[in-house]
Amino acid sequence: MPQFTRSLEDLNKQLQRRDPYHRVLTLPWSAFFTISVVAFLSINGIFALLYMQDPGGIANLNSDRFLDYFFFSIESISTIGYGNWYPQTTYTHMVMSAQVFFGVMNIALATGIVFAKFSLPTNKIVFSDKLILGQHDGKLALMFRAANERNNQIVDAKVSFNLIWNETTQEGMAMSRFKTLFVKNRHTPLFSLSWLIHHEVNEDSPIFGKSLEDLKNNGAMIIATITGIDGTLSQNIYGQTTYYPNQILEGHQFVDMLSSDENGIVVHYDKISETEAIS
pLDDT digits (tens, 9 = 90+) for 221-272: 999 999 999 888 888 999 999 999 999 999 899 999 988 888 778 888 899 9
Say if strands 248-250 and 131-136 run parallel, antiparallel, or are unpaired: parallel
Report whether 76 contacts 98 (CB < 8 A).
Answer: no
Q: What pLDDT does 7 receive?
A: 54
* Strand-pair partners of 132: 143, 249
Whether the pLDDT of residue 83 is over 80: the answer is no
Q: Which residues are CB-neighbours of 251 under 8 A, at least 6 positions away?
A: 134, 277, 278
Q: Which residues are CB-neighbours of 5 under 8 A, at least 6 positions away?
A: none
Q: Which residues are CB-neighbours of 170 under 8 A, at least 6 positions away?
A: none
Amino acid at 122: T
Whether the pLDDT of residue 186 is over 60: the answer is yes
Superfamily (CATH) of domain 125-273: G protein-activated inward rectifier potassium channel 1 (2.60.40.1400)
SS3 assignment, position 237: strand
Q: What pLDDT does 43 receive?
A: 92
| DSSP secondary structure letters along 120-183 | S----EEE-SSEEEEEETTEEEEEEEEEE-SSS-EEEEEEEEEEEEEEE-TTS-EEEEEEE---
Q: What pLDDT does 150 receive?
A: 85
Locate the domains of the chain by residue range: 8-119, 125-273
Q: What pLDDT does 199 receive?
A: 94
pLDDT band at 131 (very low <50, low <70, confident <90, very high): very high
Q: Which of 6-15, 75-84, 173-182 has the lowest mean pLDDT?
A: 6-15
CATH 3.40.50.12500 fits 8-119, yes or no: no
Q: What pLDDT does 2 receive?
A: 45
Q: What pLDDT does 15 receive?
A: 56
Report whether 275 contacts 249 (CB < 8 A).
Answer: yes
Mean pLDDT of the chain: 86
Q: pTM of this prediction?
A: 0.69
Q: Which of 138-147, 191-200, 209-218, 257-266 has the lowest mean pLDDT?
A: 257-266
DSSP state for residue 51 in the 8-state scheme? H
pLDDT over 90 for what percent of the chain? 41
Whether the pLDDT of residue 10 is over 70: the answer is no
Query: Distance between CA 127 and CA 241 in Å, rounded?
Result: 7
Q: What pLDDT does 9 receive?
A: 59
Q: Which residues are CB-neighbours of 38 under 8 A, at least 6 positions away?
A: none
Give the CA-trace dihedral at 198, 203, 204, 209, to 10 degrees: 70
Q: What would the mean pLDDT of 27-53 be, rounded to a whole number? A: 92
